[in-house]
Amino acid sequence: MIKLYAYPRSRSTRVVWMLEEIGVDYEFIKIELLQGAGQAEAYLKIHADGKVPAIDDDGFVLTESAAIMSYLGDKYSACNLLPEPKTQDRARYDEWCFFVLTELEQPLWTVGKHTFVLPEEKRVPEILDVAHWEFLKACNVLEKRLQGKEYALGDSFSAVDILVAHTLRWAHGFGVPSGSALLDAYREKMSARPAFERVMAKESEAS
Ligand SMILES: N[C@@H](CCC(=O)N[C@@H](CS)C(=O)NCC(=O)O)C(=O)O
């Protein structure tokens, strides 16, 4: 059974969502990040930086949320959450993933880090204005990319929707506005999926 090293309402939520959409059995192993469990010697052998998520699939250990999602999507390809490798559709999927991770998530994470994640003495409040501005700029691009579409890749739900919707949910949770009614409606629509209700239940159980 796949072991997932996770912490509720973190980037591991993306992987929980992916696993719930796929419908495969997995073991949710909570790493008590706030108690320093990420830095325990045993866990550092799984994730060299002591972060979540990580998976162990029968001895194959993988980190990085988006890489894990791609791995699972390819492994359970019958679920159609990822386009076939070596196709233009797959290149489009990659384009979306890189956009989310480098353009959308990055300024949002800067807000998170300099508001509540970093130790207080490392926070630079002056960076918040520009980070909010960069996030809104990325949301503006995202809005254009989603315009007239039901899902990111077109007609059917995919792993990209998990990545985008999770990032927008994070922003909402951080109190960072998207500035877009379309994005807010998309986030709520994705969050209404039955698999996401199971994600919430799984994480509440682990909290
Ligand atoms: N790029 C990584 C980031 C992983 C990451 O930063 N995880 C956070 C939780 S969202 C974490 O484990 N932080 C604990 C720490 O920094 O010690 C991914 O997407 O998996």
Dihedral sign from CA coordinates of 44, 6, 164, 167: negative
Note whether 165 and 187 are within 8 A (CB): yes
Q: Which pairs from 150-156 meet CB under 8 Å and 24+ separation?
A: 152/96, 153/83, 153/89, 153/92, 153/93, 153/96, 156/80
User: Is the previous residue joined to 194 through a cis bond, with omega within 30 degrees of 0?
Assistant: no
In the block, which residue shows the tokens 């679920």? Answer: 79
pTM of the predicted structure, to 2 decimals: 0.96
Q: Which fold has domain 2-81+195-206?
A: Glutaredoxin (3.40.30)
Residue nearest to atom 11 of ligand 1 (CA): 51
Residue nearest to atom 1 of ligand 1 (CA): 64
Under the banding of pLDDT at 50, 70 and 90, the label for residue 132 is very high
> How confident is the prediction for the chain on average, in pLDDT?
97
Residue nearest to atom 16 of ligand 1 (CA): 51
64 Cα nearest atom in ligand 1: 20
Note whether 189 and 133 are within 8 A (CB): no
Q: Which residues contact 5 (CB under 8 A, 6 or more apart)?
A: 12, 29, 31, 43, 46, 47, 52, 53, 54, 55, 56
Q: How many residues does the chain have?
A: 207
d(CA 55, CA 52): 9
pLDDT (0 to 100) of residue 157: 98
**127: burial class by Cβ within 10 Å (0-12, 13-18, 19+)?**
middle
Under the banding of pLDDT at 50, 70 and 90, the label for residue 207 is confident
- % the chain with pLDDT above 70: 100
Tens-digit pLDDT profile for residues 153-186:
998 999 999 999 999 999 999 999 999 999 999 9
Count of other CB atoms within 10 angstroms of residue 170? 22
The set of protein residues with a Cβ atom below 6 angstroms from ligand 1 is 10-11, 33, 38, 50-53, 64-65
31 Cα nearest atom in ligand 1: 12
Closest among 66, 68, 65 to 24, alpha carbons compared:
68
Q: Check whether 129 has a pLDDT greater than 90.
A: yes
47 Cα nearest atom in ligand 1: 12
Distance 50 CA to ligand 1 centre (A): 8
Tens-digit pLDDT profile for residues 23-82:
999 999 999 999 999 999 999 999 999 999 999 999 999 999 999 999 999 999 999 999
* All structural domains of the chain with their residue ranges: 2-81+195-206, 88-193
Which of 5, 7, 11, 111 has most ligand 1 atoms within 8 Å of its beta carbon, as the pocket-test mutant? 11
Residue nearest to atom 20 of ligand 1 (CA): 64
pLDDT (0 to 100) of residue 36: 95
Please, what CATH class does the domain formed by 88-193 belong to?
mainly alpha
